[in-house]
Amino acid sequence: MRQFRKQEHIENFLKSSFRGNTLLDQIFIDHQSLPGVSLDDVDLKTEFLGKTASAPILINAITGGSDFSKTINNALANIAHEFNIPMAVGSQTIALETPSTIESFSIVRRNNPNGIILSNLNGNSTIDDVKKAVEMIGADGIQIHLNVPQELSMAEGDKDFRYIAENISKIVEASTVPVMVKEVGFGMSTKAIKELYDIGIRIVDISGYGGTNFMEIENMRNPHLDTKQLYRWGIPTALSLLEASQLELPDLKLIASGGVASGLDIFHSLVLGASMAGICGELLRYVIHGGPEQARNYINNLVEQLKRLMVLVGSTNVEQLHSVPFRITGTLKDLYTAPRFRQ
């Protein structure tokens, strides 16, 4: 059942056509005619989970659990290895239930023995599940995903969300590797981020609205429940990230994902305060439609675009981007400055 669902998610993702807006294009940054730096001096190196990534780009959680996903993970792991960038596997629950699928996940570590690799499980997972998932791929950290709208729209999905935070706090206490929490394209509110911070989470991927739309993907799977009215549900990536970074919680690392597709999107995310940007849907399209070589060229382009954008604002490392002044316009400004009733 789960194996079939994973395949359907990829197929429906490829068929999906709804386009939301991340609002990342509503960030305005001044061009610097005298940047005072050289392209050769730009260094994208980023410390992450005790290792050094060569660029602040994360291949975000996608798949595992079937022969087809093994092919995808094989291609993605080779790219992660070549570019020395972190990669997360898709939810490993399927491998815990069906050990014959483990190989479709462990290939990621086999192809990339020293790389930064992340496990992925849901918020109701047990400590034993976490331990097994981490061991399965020799993970450097684990992503716990939050996906309430998606669960609610799946006939077989979870319907009880009362104990997730409590469970995550137990995972944080018991885990031998850092635990990060991510959304799946609905964005994270400041309330949720503060709650996660209070239970010890120090890495959050806000995975906002505007890219992959799981309401549309699930709507194609479930003829009994129409979720069209929720295609616009979620906090746009730029807004979620901006509000999260304004919290200024000490030692909280923010990852930006959700509709991040270009070097400019990554650049805007880093300027807004993210220390890394996650790519999922756009890369998956390249892998499936173009093949591994095109996917590789796409990542290479992102790296080169990002370096050039950094020159345009006189920055030679990712840290400096956090001090680059920016303005916000349009809907992003409206939403960010709109008064909240009933705080």
Ligand X SMILES: Cc1cc2nc3c(=O)[nH]c(=O)nc-3n(C[C@H](O)[C@H](O)[C@H](O)COP(=O)(O)O)c2cc1C
CB of 261 to ligand X, least distance (A): 7
For residues 144 to 173, the per-residue mask of contacts with ligand X, x marking binding by CB under 6 A and - elsewhere, is -x----------------------------
- Single out the residue of 13, 48, 83, 197 in contact with ligand X (rule: CB under 6 A): 13
Inter-residue long-range contacts of 284-288, CB under 8 Å, 24+ positions, other chains counted: 284/10, 284/13, 284/62, 284/72, 285/14, 287/72, 287/75, 287/76, 288/10, 288/14, 288/72
- Cα 68 from Cα 23, distance rounded (Å): 33
Sign of CA dihedral 290, 296, 302, 307: negative
The residue (of 26 and 143) whose beta carbon lies closer to ligand X is 143
Would you count residue 10 as binding ligand X (CB under 6 A)?
A: yes
User: Can residue 137 be called a binding residue for ligand X (CB under 6 A)?
Assistant: no
- Identity of the residue numbered 59: I
The nearer residue to ligand X, 189 or 320, going by C-beta atoms, is 189
Angle CA 47–299–117, to nearest 5: 45
293 burial level (CB within 10 Å; 0-12, 13-18, 19+): exposed
Residue with the CB atom nearest ligand X in the bound state = 211
Stretch that binds ligand X, among 55-63, 104-112, 223-231, 239-247 (CB under 6 A): 55-63
> How many residues of this chain interact with ligand X, rule: CB under 6 A?
26
Residue 91 is a binding residue for ligand X (CB under 6 A): yes
Judged by CB under 6 A, the stretch of 36-44, 218-226, 241-249, 276-284 that binds ligand X is 276-284
**Given the rule CB under 6 A, which residues bind ligand X?**
9-10, 13, 60-63, 90-91, 120, 143, 145, 182, 184-185, 207, 211-212, 257-260, 279-281, 284
